[in-house]
Amino acid sequence: MKKCSNCFLPETHETISFDKKGVCNICSGIEFRDTKIDFLKKKEELDQLIKKYKGKYDYDCIVPFSGGKDSTWTLYYLIKEYNLKPLVVRFDHGFLRPNLEKNVKKCQRKLGFDMITFTPNWKIVQKLMLRSFLDKGDFCWHCHTGIFSYPMWISIEKKIPLIFWGEKSSEYTSYYSYDEVEEVDEKRFNRFINLGITADDMFLRLNGKIDKRELKPYTYPEISQLREIKSKSVCLGSYIKWNPKENSKIIEKELGWTGDEVENVPPEYKYEKIECYMQGVRDYIKFIKRGYSRPSHLSAIDLRNKVISKEKAQENIKLFEGKKPESLKIFLDFIG
């Protein structure tokens, strides 16, 4: 299997391609980020964007929030840097870890913010998980679509036009280039989030056996509804340089946020994917499908940022990838 000569990501990684030297396009994008983008200028653009919305609505913005490192950093940065009043919106996918809940409480007490948590119908979630697992080899359709669509419905309901997400997808893929502000819109949702299955598609795949209203939380709002509130949905990572390792250290220090042990993830990455206790299963399925999983992904990030040796990256990949997780039994029981 062909791999990037710089970061070791294989040819089965989504959107990947290689130049004549065997370097992948994601590495080239990060090099562009580090050498061509003026983040001081980008920060000025962010200043102007926030000035346009701050103080003009019941809430200055919405921050979709899982409690993981990226959404926690986004929330921390916007409150500390700009003194914003955000409405924090969390989609409960059904597998939140106990330590994550403790982190969320710490953040609430340290930062101070209003939060809405939505928990969807578990019986519907079971059906969605099984269907997407059988059709796509990925049981997380309900999670990813819910996380990215439900906050949009809240923005319409509460008439809050500005929404801040975390890092750009360009950090990890090439669906978008790093020289553009990445709008988090329906085009991105269909390209990057929903496995190529819209809520209408899912209704048909389930043979109409559920009430179509049950799929609204996973449906992206009509563009006319978003235009009516003058919706602006962007990645914070379009304006500030993203560094998950350093961001994690800051929220650990300032908020008491703590990492967790995640199946088949090297211990030095304890800040990674602590939201879901099914993460080990998802990585295992990915390994079966594509021949690599999260240790390769994490090593690739560190190799691009030049904070790990190639020898250490190869060691982590060898030691932690492809192992059958204990949580597989739990997953199989959940989906029946």
Report the distance separating Cα 288 and Cα 322, nearest Å. Answer: 8
pLDDT of residue 335: 81
CB neighbourhood size of 80 (10 A)? 12
Cα(231)–Cα(225) distance, rounded to whole angstroms?
A: 9
Could you give the CA distance from residue 295 to residue 321 in angstroms, rounded to a whole number? 6
Q: Which of 34, 35, 7 is nearest to 22 (CA)?
A: 7
Whether pLDDT at 91 is above 90: yes
pLDDT tens across 236-262, in order? 999 999 999 999 999 999 999 999 999
Please check whether residue 220 is in contact with residue 149, taking contact to mean a CB–CB distance below 8 angstroms: yes
How is residue 237 written in tokens?
Answer: 């990572």
pLDDT at 328: 94
Rounded-to-integer distance, Cα 145 and Cα 141, Å: 6
> Residue 161 in contact with residue 53, Cβ under 8 Å?
yes
Pairing of strands 61-64, 86-91: parallel
The string of pLDDT tens digits covering residues 155-200 is: 999 999 999 999 999 999 999 988 877 899 999 999 999 999 999 9
Q: Give the list of residues 6+ apart from residue 277 with CB closer than 8 angstroms, or none.
A: 95, 96, 97, 327, 330
Residues in the chain: 336
User: Amino acid identity of 181?
Assistant: V
Residue 72 has pLDDT above 90, yes or no: yes
Predicted pLDDT at 86: 98
Residue 321 clears pLDDT 90, i.e. is over it: yes
C-alpha neighbours within 13 Å on the C-beta side of residue 111? 31
Query: How far apart are the C-alpha atoms of 53 and 328, rounded to whole Å?
Result: 45
- Report the percent of the chain where pLDDT is more than 70: 100
Taking 90 as the threshold, does the pLDDT of residue 3 lie above it? yes
Q: 195-219, pLDDT tens digit by residue?
A: 999 999 999 999 989 999 999 999 9
What pLDDT does 48 receive?
Answer: 98
Q: Tens digit of pLDDT for each residue in 256-315?
A: 999 999 999 999 999 999 999 999 999 999 999 999 999 999 999 999 999 999 999 999
pLDDT given for residue 207 in this prediction = 95
Closest CA to 71 of 41, 97, 48, 91: 91
Amino acid 273: pLDDT: 95
